[in-house]
Structure 1
Amino acid sequence: METETATRWLSDAEQCAWRTHLEVNRLLTYQLEKDLQPFGLTINDYEILVNLSEAGEHRVRMSDLAAATLQSKSRLSHQITRMEKAGLVRRENCESDRRGLFAVLTGPGLETMRKVAPHHVDSVRRNFIDQLSPEELGTLREFLAPIAARLREERAKR
């Protein structure tokens, strides 16, 4: 017979902290997305452009890009198709693996990244970084690091 474990409900303080985190996450994502709209980009588009712009030869295997952006391969494929139509990226075959594909940043994609990045950084700074002191940022990083590490470990198990 299985024993049922008691649910550890959140205390009022824990509930408040959790809901504040959710609200900040939603509002910050909303604002960053809104600030990318004049450039015709979503936050997911921008994340893909960042990954490709920082990669060697501005190319990343599609499977690795899906993992890096926490998207399913199918969802990423649809997004890359849309970004290809906009001329930002292209797909290339992987010579060492006939089934593999690379997402590659195009010249116009790199130019878009160079144009948008300063505006995005300004939005991140205005809406997040500048709201905290350097000490608070250090504390936040210190608090979030073990959570991120645990979640990465859980993800790696799958």
Structure 2
Amino acid sequence: MRTHPPEVDPLSPSEERFLRSLTRLLAVLPRRLDADLVRHTGLSVTDYYVLVHLSEAPERRMRMSELAAGAAMSMSGTSRVIDRLQRMGLVVRERCPDDGRGWDAVLTDAGFEELENAWITHLASVRTHIFDHTDDIDLDSIADAFERMTKG
């Protein structure tokens, strides 16, 4: 037996426009950022953010499960990315020194150097596709709202 959702107010024209714009942005923006990075560095946005997470971790090392959670990826997706980055010499897998059962992803010096080079491309892409269009917007308020939306 199906239950009906509770009655809710329809979206206002502004809310509907915002929702449709956001939906389109979520589809288009990642592809644009990814295309810029791939074209100039050979790294995908996913590769880039995995390298960012590793670069910010103590000793540039993270347990695979923590990396997956931090990058909002599945374990299998994380493993595929790490495999690709390892073939490129940017990351190595090592046994966790704490318990020896799990695996850590470790950013190599070459990986850190590649990340530094990719950062310039990513920064230019983000400025072009995002921040060049946000002159009169309260970014902190939007960031707060996005953070509330993604909790839980």
**Aligned partners of 2:116, 2:141: CA distance in 1, in Å?**
31
TM-score, normalised via structure 1 length: 0.84
Give 5+ residue unaligned stretches, structure 1: none
Aligned twin of 2:61: 59
Aligned to 2:25: 24
User: Percent of aligned pairs with the same residue?
Assistant: 35
Change (3 A) 1:3 1:27: closer
| Structure 1 residues 105-153: Cα deviation after superposition (integer angstroms, max 9, x where no partner) | 1111111011110110111111111211265323322433322xxx33x
Richer in helix (by share) = 1
Q: In 1, Cα distance between the equivalents of 2:123 and 2:144?
A: 22
Range 110-119 or range 138-147, more displaced:
138-147
- For residue 76 of structure 1, what is the amino acid of its counterpart? T
User: In the aligned structure 1, how far is the partner of 2:119 from the partner of 2:53?
Assistant: 13
Q: Check 1:134–1:83 CA distance in 2 against 1; reply closer, same or farther (3 A cut).
A: same
Number of residue pairs aligned between Structure 1 and Structure 2: 150
| Counterpart selection for 2:138 from 136, 139, 143 | 136
**Alpha-carbon distance, 1:50 to partner:** 0.5
CA RMSD of aligned residues (A): 2.1
| Partner in structure 2 of residue 5 of structure 1 | 5
Q: 2:75 & 2:144 partners in 1: Cα distance?
A: 32
Alignment of 1:111-126 (within 5 A): 111-126=113-128
Q: Which runs of 5+ in 2 are unaligned?
A: none
**Which piece of structure 1 moves more, 132-141 or 119-128?**
132-141
Is the 1:53–1:110 contact (alpha carbons within 8 Å) kept by the matching residues of 2? Answer: yes
